[in-house]
Amino acid sequence: MKRTNKAPFKTAMFFLSFFLTAAINLPSYAEEEPETYAEESGLRTKLHNQGYDFELTYTANVWRNFSGGVNTGNRVFDNLDLIMDIDAEKAFGAKGTSAHFYLLNNFGGRINDLVGSNGGIDNMEVPEQAFKLYEAWVQQNFFNDRISFLAGLHDLNSEFYVTETSGLFLNPTYGIGTEMASTGDNGPSIFPYASLGFRIATAPTPDTYLTGAIYDGVPGDPNRARGTHVRFNDNDGALLVAEGGIKNDDWGHYGIGAWEYTAKREDQLNSAERARSKGFYLLADRSVYNNDAQDISAFARLGFTAGNVEQFKRNLSVGIVFSGYIPSRPDGQFGLAVTRVDNSSKYKAANAPVEDAETQFELTYADAPLPWLSVQPDLQYTINPGTDPALENAWTGGIRFAISF
């Protein structure tokens, strides 16, 4: 195993401890009774009652790679989300109909350029600044919401490969497994490139679900990062995704999903052979302890690919989140997670010498010192960044600020 000296570790721990101490000593607003739309007045409430909801969130990320990886250094980048949801029954009398519009502006910057990991470091990092219409879809529900149809620009990771507990963490692999996120000519239909798709969701019983979708196989335009691009080329093919499982407050969430691209790609060892990229994943997420305001939740996710045209054969992620354990910070959450992504045997043979796998640890704390402000310091340790034997293990620390309106 590669080693790093202790000085960067001490610096990283000081960095995290500083922000944790500051957060713990901030005043708490948890005891204030939240206002409801019925109690509020003003334009926003009137629009909600008419079926229109708006959300604006500005997020800033500050990171430093203390040691290892490609190079040490700092990165600062931010993100702006503008979202409008329409309840068409309130707005137009269209029962069961809703719409969603999402404008996204990323200001660029990648901490992973300094780390060189396969899994990434921050789930908001993008190659360059871009403003776009990210999502735009219409949904129609039937039979008391037991069947739902959706069509339009849609982020598949908003409904597939999702576990609630893992959503606390900043590393991208806890949103969607790295083994699936790295596939396709421009990735699957996920941040920052969503593609046109059609999704059907059903709830056979109150505790079970089954969801399937078809997406354009190449989201956006691989040659143009800026703007919204919808195009259909003959060789794009489609991405098929399905997931089903059990989900309720008592048992938690257990699911299984599968995906496959219809377009074939070259085999990694024999360019004369072509195969479809495909895989499946397993999810488990539940509260393992709950007592009054204190909760401990855990998750586990395991994804596989066929390994013929994909770099990664498997990805395992597990984590645990503690909520409400600081008396002065009832909304504070501590999280610890680890993920390992393994190269496929064909990738190792075609790209030797490379390490077998990359492993990343993440320690994070999230809190909302003000009703409109959230703060999240984060510390990550990457073993075998990019599975490149030339790169040393990396210590990386950062902090995320989010302002919501």
Residue 146 is assigned to a structural domain of this protein: yes
Rounded CA gap, 306 and 300, in Å?
21
Is the predicted pLDDT of residue 275 greater than 80, yes or no? yes
Whole-number pLDDT of residue 38: 44
pLDDT-derived band at 179 (thresholds 50, 70, 90) equals: very high
Is the predicted pLDDT of residue 230 greater than 90, yes or no? no
Give the per-residue SS3 of the chain: CCCCCHHHHHHHHHHHHHHHHHHHCCCCCCCCCCCCCCCCCCHHHHHHHCCEEEEEEEEEEEEEEEEEECCCEEEEEEEEEEEEEEEHHHHHCCCCEEEEEEEEEECCECCHHHHCCCCCCCCCCECCCEEEEEEEEEEEEECCCCEEEEEEEECHHHCCCCCCHHHHCCCHHHCCCHHHHCCCCCCCCECCECEEEEEEEECCCCCEEEEEEEEECCCCECCECCCCCCCCCCCCCEEEEEEEEEEECCCEEEEEEEEEEEEEEECCCCCCCEEEEEEEEEEEEEEEEEECCEEEEEEEEEEEECCCCCCEEEEEEEEEEEECCECCECCCEEEEEEEEEEECHHHHHHHCCCCCEEEEEEEEEEEEEECCEEEEEEEEEEECHHHCCCCEEEEEEEEEEEEEC
Whole-number pLDDT of residue 41: 60
Rounded CA gap, 304 and 281, in Å?
6
Tens of pLDDT, residues 349-360:
999 999 999 999
Percent over 90 (pLDDT), the chain:
79
Whole-number pLDDT of residue 223: 76
Rounded CA gap, 403 and 405, in Å?
7
Residue 7 is assigned to a structural domain of this protein: no
Residue 210 is assigned to a structural domain of this protein: yes
Residue 298 is assigned to a structural domain of this protein: yes
Whole-number pLDDT of residue 10: 54
Whole-number pLDDT of residue 302: 98
Instruction: Give per-residue burial for 354-367: e unless 16+ CB within 10 Å, then b.
Output: bbebbbbebbbbbb
Bigger pLDDT: 58 vs 224: 58
Bigger pLDDT: 11 vs 402: 402
Judge whether 216 and 222 are in contact, CB under 8 Å.
no
Residue 35 is assigned to a structural domain of this protein: no
Is the predicted pLDDT of residue 32 greater than 80, yes or no? no
Whole-number pLDDT of residue 35: 44
Domain with 131 in it: 47-404
Place of tokens 């302890």: 289
pLDDT-derived band at 327 (thresholds 50, 70, 90) equals: confident
Residue 36 is assigned to a structural domain of this protein: no
Rounded CA gap, 360 and 112, in Å?
13
Residue 240 is assigned to a structural domain of this protein: yes
Instruction: Give per-residue burial for 192-212: e unless 16+ CB within 10 Å, then b.
Output: bbbbbbebebebeeeeebebb
Rounded CA gap, 217 and 240, in Å?
9
Whole-number pLDDT of residue 217: 94
Per the document, the length of the chain is 405
Tens of pLDDT, residues 3-31:
444 555 554 454 445 444 544 454 444 43
Judge whether 27 and 369 are in contact, CB under 8 Å.
yes
Residue 235 is assigned to a structural domain of this protein: yes
Lowest mean pLDDT across 16-30, 75-89, 201-215, 317-331: 16-30
Amino acid at 140: Q
Domain tally, the chain: 1
Rounded CA gap, 170 and 181, in Å?
15
CATH number for the domain spanning 237: value is 2.40.160.180
Amino acid at 58: Y
